[in-house]
Structure 1
Amino acid sequence: MKRLIFLLLVFIIGCSSITSVSEPKESIYTQSPENTIDPYQLADNLEFNEVWAYLMKGEEDRIKGDEPITDLCYFSAKVSGRGQIVGEYAPPDIKFNNKIRYHIVIAVIDNFALMHFVLNPNLPVRKNFINDICKVATKFDGVQIDFESVAASDAAWFFSFLKELRAALDKNKMLSIALPARRTRIADAYDYPSIAAIVDKVIIMAYDQHWSGSSPGPVAGLSWCKEVAEFAKSFIPKEKLIMGLPLYGRAWQDKNFNKSVHYKHVEEMIKTSNIQPHYDPENGAYFEYEEKIKVRVYFTDQRAIVDRLKLYSSMSIENVAFWRIGQGPSGMWQGISTKSL
């Protein structure tokens, strides 16, 4: 009898083993973290003609030298209030596995008065500024203009400045420009077709869809990126167009406590919160209290990078740029290649 029970148990165990073998296995992506393979690491190879990347001066240690980039934009040459380039600039001493081109970035981000001054064709400062740019360019393969504070009223001066700069630069030096993202044509100083007709390359800064002063939202939402790319493609030749991708994120809090307060409001806060104020002769009266806030962070991970690269690739966009090296996730270069490497 015991022998019969034993044989019956063996038969049941054997059947259950056979059944378990035939059952479908769990997806690899639901396994424990140490065994998980990021599906975005397994994506098809994304190949572009050119891959540009920005490097901030002083952050040279962020580069390994094995990144699949064709062009490195060195950010940035300093422009004085007199419209002069201050300091000496040379390409960073980095050993890359492949030959790349170096571009010095001439940036004026938020100084409309300075732009109005240096772009004025009736002032000698403009010609001197162009000469300074040409001198800085001698050690680089190209120059990139990043003037983000040109008034609409100075548009004609800006376009003629770019023409004059292109004529003054060595013909073997590349002239590129970084332009803000647009989804429609507006009357400002960054008219895509006018500028694309002058320069060699146009980098569209397809980021800051939402910024520090806006409501919370993605730095570069996918559908927004598509609209920006479609608009850029309609005005910029394929060989000149470079779509920029952000590697940074932004954080928003639902309450902002940095504000001026009236004494009446202070009295109400002390009364309702039962706060005990303090006083010292040097700093005056003050008090502290705790407040709960909610913070929302939008950031760029590997998935976001791959999704945007796939989008641009599907739109037959051949060139991309990353702002900036050191801000992105580790391993972000996996699966990216260039035809020239």
Structure 2
Amino acid sequence: MVFIICTFLFLGIHLLKKGDSALSNENFRSSSIGIVDEIRNFFPNQKTTNSSETENSSSTQSESKSNFFSFNKDDQDMPEATLLPKADENTSFRASTWFSDYEAMKKTVHLYNEIHPFIYGMKGRETNNGDLYSSWGSSQKHERISELRKLNPNIKIIPTIFRWENKYEKISENIGMNGRNDIRDKHLSNILYELDTYGYDGIDIDYEGMSCEKKEKFEEFIVILSKEIHKRGKILSVAVHPKTPAKKESMKACKGLKDKIKMDYAENWRGPMTHDYAFLAKYADRIKIMAYELHPRKYRNPGPGPQAPNTWIKSIIEYAKARVPAKQLYMAIPTYGYDWALNCNSKIKSVYYQDAVRKKEFGIHRQPTNIDQILANTKNSSSWINLSKFSWVHTGKTYEDPSIWYKSEGCDRVAFYMNRKAFEDKMNLLRQYDLGGFSFWQLISDNDPGINDYLELLVSNKLPPVEKIKEPVQDPNKSKVEPTNPEEAKIDSQDHSEKFVGKQG
């Protein structure tokens, strides 16, 4: 988370508006960005798996009659206590991560309470057939799950099923769209088959970028999946797009939905409209907010900047805590950043800690980063058009995130990245709000090794205490909502890159 982690990945977030809120009009994503090619390369070349193909499975396991899994409106009214398992609730602040680097995971699995192998995707592109594919083959799944549990007997292994919806790849029949509850049921059967066959502790659903008319069918899908997973005493995790409070609430109509969508958040693009925090929190044990991509891999608004500064994370938390019980709430933060050209149109690159170490010798390292001061005190900053035209975004802000300002091939550049100091500052904020935990997008060998040192202190309860934030969180149901004209919700038509931050050179 997301976001995504991917973009998860995936997964940037939304709309910046000039003024007090840095989160409103120009489109930017909640999940990861600029990473579509990496995820396409990651899955298809591996052995695929679904319940109808796996050895020793009968053909009936992946075949489903229409409405094989029942959904009744009464299911939505089931008491929360009957839906959520009580297991694993004794840890006060849980550490989790998405990962595709198995070797890095083996070395650090002892530092986490739960892990999300980023291994499953949907078969089919513009239409769905209910089947899954996996980047691990059947024998790999058995062997790796066993190995990880030997390394950390207390670990919760909760694999991710990912898709980012775009014009080429849809999330449709798999959640029962187009009248295809039979395909939805087949999709559910395949998910449960994987859960049962490989003994996972739960499933993480990371369905991103869905258009607004899919909100109700996605919610039905989650209700049914929750019921089946909790019958097994397992954990349901859902990755969601980040949201921040709207200055003014409104109601939006979306073609195909019976009810209008309450727009009490600032992000006015398709993804967040399908992720209703309060609804999902009734059925999912973990709500993992993909708090990254504040400054996507684009040269348009909002331009260069950090991926998840605390000023923004705090706003996300305050929106979410009014809708999700704190102990179900995770903030997913990035371990990557981007490297932008300031005065030319050179390629934007992804940056991990080891990349940043190599760049330090070529420029000036700043932490914290105050862009107002840098623009004011640098002689040639007037030529930094890629940054200066969005300078209002950074007015009055100092970021805990590190940055490197350097020159390459005749072009001035800035690279934002994640190190232990920035990570610790973000963790202190999350701990102040007494959240359930955090997630990474994502664990790779290029991350700052100092982060692992911090996690050692976390898991051994050796971190100094932080003062809890006790300010009251407003009840969102008490807010006055001003209806707007019953227009169909406007959906951004620009490309949204997909989740899976890979090395981009």
User: Given the two structures, how large is their TM-score scaled by the length of structure 2?
Assistant: 0.49
2:418 to 296, 300, 317: 300
Q: In the alignment, what sits opposite 2:244?
A: 183
Letter in 1 for 2:328: K
1:107 and 2:162 are equivalent in the alignment: yes
1:42 maps to: none
Give the Cα separation in 2 of the matches to 1:328 and 1:109. 25
Secondary structure of the residue aligned to 2:296 is: coil
2:338 to 230, 234, 250: 250
Q: Which moved more, 1:113-122 or 1:158-167?
A: 113-122
Q: Among 69, 77, 92, which residue is 2:120 paired with?
A: 77
**CA separation of 1:109/1:201 partners in 2, compared to 1, >3 Å: closer, same or farther?**
same
Instruction: Please give the alpha-carbon distance, in whole angstroms, between the structure 1 residues aligned to 2:109 and 2:188.
Output: 34
Query: What secondary structure, in the 3-state scheme, does the structure 1 residue paired with 2:449 have?
Result: coil
Say if 1:159 and 1:53 are closer, same or farther in 2 by CA, change over 3 A.
Answer: same
Residue 219 of structure 1: aligned partner: 307
- Provide the secondary structure at the position in 2 that maps to 1:211: coil
Residue 115 of structure 1 aligns to a residue whose secondary structure is coil
Say if 2:419 and 2:450, in contact at 8 Å, map to a contact too. Answer: no
Q: CA deviation at 1:120?
A: 2.3
The DSSP-based 3-state class of the residue aligned with 1:332 is helix
Alignment root-mean-square deviation, CA: 2.4
User: Which residue does 2:436 correspond to in 1?
Assistant: 318
Of 235, 257, 267 in structure 2, the residue corresponding to residue 174 of structure 1 is: 235
> Distance between the aligned counterparts of 1:235 and 1:328, measured in 2?
32
Q: Match for residue 281 of structure 1?
A: none
- Give the counterpart letter for 2:277 in structure 1: Y
Percent same amino acid among aligned pairs?
A: 21
Question: Aligned partners of 1:220, 1:103: CA distance in 2, in Å?
Answer: 24
The separation in 2 between residues aligned to 1:117 and 1:292, in whole angstroms, is: 51
| Change in CA separation of 1:134 and 1:66 when aligned onto 2, cut-off 3 Å | closer
Residues matched between the structures, number: 262
CA deviations 1:8-39 (Å, max 9, x no partner) are: xxxxxxxxxxxxxxxxxxxxxxxxxxxxxxxx
Counterpart of 1:54 in structure 2 is: 98
- From the superposition, tell whether residues 127 and 66 of structure 1 become closer, same or farther in structure 2 (CA, over 3 Å): closer
Structure 1-normalised TM-score?
0.71
Could you list the per-position Cα deviations for residues 228-256 of structure 1 after superposition, in whole angstroms to 9, with x for gaps in the alignment?
A: 11111111112211111211111112322
Equivalent residue for 2:183, pick from 125, 133, 136: 125
Matches within 5 A, 1:79-94: 79-81=122-124, 82-87=129-134, 88=137, 90=141, 91-92=144-145, 93-94=147-148
What do the CA deviations read for 1:281-326 (whole angstroms, capped 9, x no partner)?
xxxxxxxxx9732221110011110000011111222311111111
CA distance in 1, matches of 2:326, 2:346: 47
Letter in 1 for 2:184: R
Contact 1:249 1:297 in 2 (8 A): yes
Q: Distance in 2 between matches of 1:222 and 1:204?
A: 14
User: SS in structure 1 opposite 2:295?
Assistant: coil
Give distance in 2, aligned partners of 1:257 and 1:70. Answer: 41
One-letter code aligned to 1:136: E
Q: Distance in 2 between matches of 1:302 and 1:331?
A: 5
Q: Which amino acid aligns with 2:130?
A: G
Q: Secondary structure at the match of 1:77?
A: strand
Partner SS state of residue 237, structure 2: strand
Per-residue displacement from partner, 1:198-229 (whole Å, max 9, x unpaired)? 21111111111111125111000111111111
Q: Distance in 1 between matches of 2:211 and 2:191?
A: 21
For 2:292 and 2:191, the matched residues in 1 are separated by 27
Which residue of the other structure, out of 201, 225, 236, is the alignment partner of 2:286? 201
Alpha-carbon offset, residue 331 of structure 1: 2.5
Deviation, structure 1 residue 118: 1.9
Partner of 2:331: helix, strand, or coil? strand
Report the counterpart of residue 240 of structure 1 in structure 2.
Answer: 328
Q: Corresponding residue for 2:207?
A: 147
Kindly report which structure 2 residues correspond to 1:6-21, keeping only aligned pairs within 5 A, or say none: none
User: Which position in structure 2 is the counterpart of 1:4?
Assistant: none
Structure 1: distance between partners of 2:422 and 2:113: 22
Moved more, 91-100 or 138-147: 91-100
- Report the CA distance between 1:339 and its aligned residue: 7.5
Higher relative contact order (CA 8 A, sep 6+): 2
Aligned-residue offset at 1:168: 2.6
The structure whose Rg is larger is 1
Q: Offset of 1:129 from its aligned partner? A: 0.6
Determine if contact 2:93/2:435 at 8 Å carries over to the other structure.
Answer: no
Contact 2:165 2:171 in 1 (8 A): no
Paired with 1:301 and 1:116, the residues of 2 have a C-alpha distance of: 39
Report if the CA contact (8 A) 1:48-1:338 is conserved: no
1:114 Cα shift? 2.1
Deviations 1:150-172 (A, max 9, x none): 11111001100101111233431
Contact 1:67 1:333 in 2 (8 A): no
